[in-house]
A and B are shown apart, each in its own frame.
Chain A
């Protein structure tokens, strides 16, 4: 990926600090000027002046260069901005642009900046495009019953019909919650993918040697920069799980903050999610004997960064467990933290109510829950490190109301490290005629209880013969 760096001409001092940057005078006013200056770059980082450029015209110019505008990274440079900070931010955006994975036509959502009348149709403004989520149907687990995106979307843009997710792009106000909540990572939004954000955060930490904190900020807001904090823009801070904040700490940042729209109020009504992520991260830090104020909504009490830990894919949906385990291991702590905002969970089966029907395992989108049949008995097993606390198993369980299954929003470092273990197991009834399995013994007992003595003969047949042999002599 070749990334071009173009700086609007009025800020040449910044350009000198970034190798390969091109200065273009009047770029903000006339983005078409970049045409002759970026060569054959695949992606671009632009340093522009706030309020002096029109995004739609900029996007048009980039398309003319065969550069995907949805991957363009823009930093608004205020007059008199600290050149060192801007340089660090620019390098972070270069890393982010380098990790850009491209977009599909479905990712572009056209928007107009104002409501238009029919008369205004005669002179429509140039369209602007924002990045919207898209579902990869071959990865989506909706056919197995998963509807995690439906559950988390604040706009009701997702619905589930006959094993398919229907997404309404028109309703969607891209916040990224679906992206970070999809258990199978089937939903993508090109503007802020986990690999892009990880690359940016790693760059920031490397550039500042951990002397600054990482602050996730909402791209809708216009937050003034604060000394000691390096900003990472996300579509909405509600998309950031607590483990991302912890990942920043684990990677060597001095602190991590999530600036939810507390003062102005989140336009999507998601402030609580951001605050929950912070509380969760603080609870984990406390359990690790680290200073909880390393994480907050604003800059907290500065702490010394812990050594940079080797954490693979810390921002991936299934990367939460590795972040938590890395922190627990580095601080020699045993974690047992229960918090509603936990991005990992612990499934609990009540053997007195569970019939071993294995619907939970069939539905589990991450295969954290699995069922296994060994010829005599069936078991349900859990790999806690793969559980993303999505609760899809609860919706699938036919005995949920009897308390057969529960998901605790718990971080248990022992369980995370244990790997796969058995939650429930039991014998399977065999067909007296062909020897094939009929059903778990517990399931037949449950059916018998439901039908009562009146159907004793029927139960007898069901218990002895499989479906294929019931009509045979």
Chain B
């Protein structure tokens, strides 16, 4: 697998996979993700710097019967309680002070960005700045780009790549490292530690790669 188009599809799959893995660990949900591992494992991920983190996550993928423990850990890490979540999974927590209306302004700004990409948040299970939502947005952009390459629409593909790169630079590559560190500090179960490390490594790698491409490749 050497074609960029395939890389787009791989990135699309990984964004969707990681974003979904941060959702509540219901057994059916984990089964679906487990099936996706096989697909992603076939993509020669050892070519990329994040492959070691990928391998570690796969090696600690929860076995049947581990869901209840994971569910408790998911609540402790990501859902609010009396003392708040150990590692809130929303960008605004890491980017703006909790008081003073900054969060609402920040999230509204993010929604405007989504609308500019042609996305409208209707019936979202999570907040617009939730890790799963933002990863899903990136997955969507990778899908659009891949389709554009497939239908020989170079300009659209290039523009979408630029859009994804800017979204990464403005959002995910800024807060995911902080989010991952919060998870690590909370001494989580190995699964969530490895998931956080993969999310961190993948986002940084993708942001670096897209910047390199935008710099080096001749635009149409």
Contact = CB atoms under 8 A, between A and B. Distances in A.
A126 B4 CA distance: 11
A122 B4 contact: yes
A68 interface: yes
Interface stretch (A59-67, A208-216, A332-340): A59-67
Contacts of B62: none
Contacts of A112: 212, 216
Interface stretch (A20-28, A103-111, A182-190, A425-433): A103-111
Given A63-B52, A118-B158, A121-B4, A105 B204 contact: yes
Q: Name the residue in B2, B49, B52, B53 with the highest tally of chain A Cβ atoms < 10 Å from its Cβ.
A: B49
B46 A117 contact: no
A118 B177 contact: no
B46 A116 contact: no
Interface in B184-220: 200-201, 204-205, 208-209, 211-213, 215-220
B206 to A, nearest CB: 10
A169 interface: yes
A129 interface: yes
Interface string A66-89: 101000000000000000000000
B4 A116 contact: no
Contacts of A106: 177, 204
A117 B208 contact: no
A140 B55 CA distance: 32
Contacts of B177: 105-106
Interface residues of A, number: 27
Given A60-B47, A117-B217, A110 B2 contact: no
Contacts, number: 74
Interface string A146-184: 000000000000000000000001100000000000000
A122 B204 CA distance: 23
A110 B4 contact: no
A110 B212 contact: yes
A123 B2 contact: yes
A139 interface: no
B47 A127 contact: yes
B211 A170 contact: yes
A124 B7 contact: yes
A138 to B, nearest CB: 10
Contact of B49 (A108, A120, A123): A108
Nearest to A121: B4
B162 to A, nearest CB: 13
Contacts of A401: none
Contact of B4 (A61, A68, A124): A124
Contact of B216 (A108, A116, A126): A116
A170 B215 contact: yes
Nearest to B45: A63
B205 A126 contact: no
Contacts of A169: 208
B179 interface: no
B212 A170 contact: yes
B51 A63 contact: yes
Contacts of A123: 2-4
Contacts of A66: 52, 55-56
A287 to B, nearest CB: 47
Interface in B138-196: 154, 158, 177
Contacts of B219: 118
Contacts of B205: 105, 108, 110
Nearest to A68: B52
Contact of A122 (B3, B51, B158, B209): B3
A110 B204 CA distance: 11
Interface string B1-32: 01111010000000000000000000000000
Contacts of B216: 112, 115-116
A112 B47 CA distance: 13
A321 B61 CA distance: 50
B50 interface: yes
Contacts of A60: 46-47
B187 to A, nearest CB: 18
A441 B50 CA distance: 59
Contacts of A64: 46, 51
Given A124-B7, A170-B211, A170-B215, A63 B2 contact: no
Nearest to A70: B49
Contacts of B46: 60-61, 63-64
7 contacts: A60-B47, A61-B46, A108-B208, A109-B208, A112-B212, A124-B3, A124-B4
Interface of A: 60-61, 63-64, 66, 68, 105-106, 108-112, 115-118, 120-124, 126-127, 129, 169-170
6 A-B pairs with least C-beta separation: A105-B201, A105-B204, A108-B49, A121-B4, A64-B46, A63-B51
